[in-house]
A and B are shown apart, each in its own frame.
Chain A
């Protein structure tokens, strides 16, 4: 099993969620985060004093999938979250050792 972590622009969330559902995903976790990559800081002024805005709001999606689904899901996210402008985000794939469904106790592939 693999954990796919994807950071995307917040307004893209609905589109990505729909595409993932069509691709067969039946669960995901979403967090509101701030971050920067090459789309980094600019300055604003509040009551006459300048301050640096280094972080930009993003949305992080985390999904656990079977090994066979990884490439398809990564491609789905990439295609739907893309705008072509900087700040589109990143996707990381890491190994998952174990998974458990709390309600039934099912393990690993049966749990996702």
Chain B
């Protein structure tokens, strides 16, 4: 959207009569309310961009699983998003941003504090003019927690039961993510220690990655994936969908990182948002190129799924500090992310950890890298970053392992062998993604 100079001048001129009369303080100038309006707008727009990442995740995962599991993957994606939305309203938002209402200062916010929006037609006098509307702030943060939950669904595809998975999502989005998130973005103890994570390489991506890793370990690999010391590939059903998903995620990331500037009411802020857009884009591109070149060298043929993972890893890598680096900085930070992923994927297979879409390499491994990379251009030391990485790792991994084990011991998390072989679409849902092409 181009800024229309004459329009701005016109707007300023119409404010003049107000300024002349402004002996009373009840009619605020545009100067006073402009930043609030712009920041609220930023949150709304960035928010719906990040919302659309849910479609990105759905397409990426749907394309990388086999046909017999596609419908289930779609169901998981739309359901987890919906549960995340409700849990964040019910508990998560205020737990993560306690303001003055900490239960244990710096560590634990208020429990069961439901979110309330600004009243309809809130006046300038009642609004938080130094920031943005509650609704925009809530919405923007909500789509982030939904992204975290999405990360888990990809890694655990093709053998997990639907409802236990959704129960895990409820705990992740309502409890685990908000508590750990409050330590940094909510102004908690990690923030006080100087830990730096602009848009969530750790807070969002590594949290999703740790939860996914815990789940993959407890759940176990797919039947036939690791047999007689060999790794058996199970190629995805639709690489066009997977590519579409990656592009949609790339698009959404502009909102993810750009919106995390948390302000757009000054020249500096809006220019920073544009810096973030440029850096984010660069990192994705070089992440993709790194994977492209590496797979060509290592395997003599380019692997599209690795290129897709590489682009996403580049994005995750820049997410901890998308503002400060120069474009060259974003270039190499993203490229390293791509390199990490190409090696991490076969490494996980060697550990017999079956991650269907590469979520753990992209979000956990690259997330850790991105968090460390802040020391090169941003305001952080290796100590502050490692403190955060370890704190989030311990909390999320242990918390997740506990939930997965409880679910496994009570309701079971894995479908039966026969169901897994027939495909989750038939066994869990009783419907096929492509009924005309199979037994019908």
Docked Cα-Cα span, A47 to B233, in Å, equals: 8
A46 and B346 within 8 A (CB): no
Closest to A49 in B: B231
Docked Cα-Cα span, A49 to B172, in Å, equals: 32
Tell me, yes or no, whether A51 is within 8 Å of chain B by CB: yes
Docked Cα-Cα span, A49 to B346, in Å, equals: 7
Contacting residues, chain B, for A94 (C-beta < 8 A): none
Docked Cα-Cα span, A47 to B362, in Å, equals: 13
Contacting residues, chain B, for A50 (C-beta < 8 A): 231, 233
Contacting residues, chain B, for A48 (C-beta < 8 A): 231, 298-299, 303, 342, 345-346, 349
Closest to B306 in A: A47
Query: Interface readout for B327-354 with A: 1 if CB under 8 Å, 0 if not?
Result: 0000000000000001001100100000
Tell me, yes or no, whether A45 is within 8 Å of chain B by CB: yes
Query: Interface readout for A51-63 with B: 1 if CB under 8 Å, 0 if not?
Result: 1000000000000
Contacting residues, chain A, for B233 (C-beta < 8 A): 46-47, 49-51
A49 and B235 within 8 A (CB): no
Chain B residues touching A, range: 10 to 19
A46 and B349 within 8 A (CB): no
Query: Interface readout for B282-314 with A: 1 if CB under 8 Å, 0 if not?
Result: 000000000000000011010101100000000
Contact of B346 among A44, A47, A51 (CB under 8 A): A47
Tell me, yes or no, whether B266 is within 8 Å of chain A by CB: no
Docked Cα-Cα span, A51 to B31, in Å, equals: 64
Query: How far does the Cβ of B295 sit from chain A's closest Cβ, in whole Å?
Result: 9
Docked Cα-Cα span, A50 to B233, in Å, equals: 7
Contacting residues, chain B, for A46 (C-beta < 8 A): 233, 235, 303, 305
Docked Cα-Cα span, A1 to B299, in Å, equals: 52
Query: How far does the Cβ of A109 sit from chain B's closest Cβ, in whole Å?
Result: 35
Closest to B350 in A: A48
Docked Cα-Cα span, A57 to B255, in Å, equals: 44
Contacting residues, chain B, for A51 (C-beta < 8 A): 232-233
Closest to A48 in B: B346
Q: Which of B233, B345, B358 has the most CB of A within 10 A?
A: B233
B231 and A45 within 8 A (CB): no
A47 and B345 within 8 A (CB): yes
A49 and B349 within 8 A (CB): yes
Within 8 A of A (CB), among B159-176: none
B358 and A47 within 8 A (CB): yes
A49 and B232 within 8 A (CB): yes
B306 and A45 within 8 A (CB): no
Closest to B233 in A: A46
Query: How far does the Cβ of B345 sit from chain A's closest Cβ, in whole Å?
Result: 5
Docked Cα-Cα span, A46 to B357, in Å, equals: 12
A45 and B232 within 8 A (CB): no
Contacting residues, chain A, for B303 (C-beta < 8 A): 45-48
Contacting residues, chain A, for B306 (C-beta < 8 A): 47
Docked Cα-Cα span, A50 to B298, in Å, equals: 12
Contacting residues, chain A, for B235 (C-beta < 8 A): 46
Query: How far does the Cβ of B424 sit from chain A's closest Cβ, in whole Å?
Result: 21
Docked Cα-Cα span, A62 to B232, in Å, equals: 35
Docked Cα-Cα span, A44 to B305, in Å, equals: 14
Contacting residues, chain A, for B299 (C-beta < 8 A): 45, 48
Docked Cα-Cα span, A47 to B355, in Å, equals: 11
Closest to B299 in A: A45
Contacting residues, chain A, for B231 (C-beta < 8 A): 48-50
A47 and B305 within 8 A (CB): yes
Can you list the 7 inter-chain pairs with the closest CB atoms, starting with the nearest? A48-B346, A46-B233, A49-B231, A45-B299, A51-B233, A49-B233, A47-B345
16 A-B pairs within 8 Å (CB atoms) are namely A44-B301, A45-B299, A45-B303, A46-B235, A46-B305, A47-B303, A47-B305, A47-B306, A47-B345, A48-B231, A48-B298, A48-B299, A49-B230, A49-B232, A49-B349, A51-B232
> Chain A: residues with CB nearer than 8 A to chain B?
44-51
Can you name 15 extra interface pairs (CB under 8 A) apart from A48-B342, A48-B345, A49-B346?
A44-B301, A45-B299, A45-B303, A46-B233, A46-B303, A46-B305, A47-B233, A47-B345, A48-B231, A48-B298, A48-B299, A49-B230, A49-B232, A49-B349, A51-B232
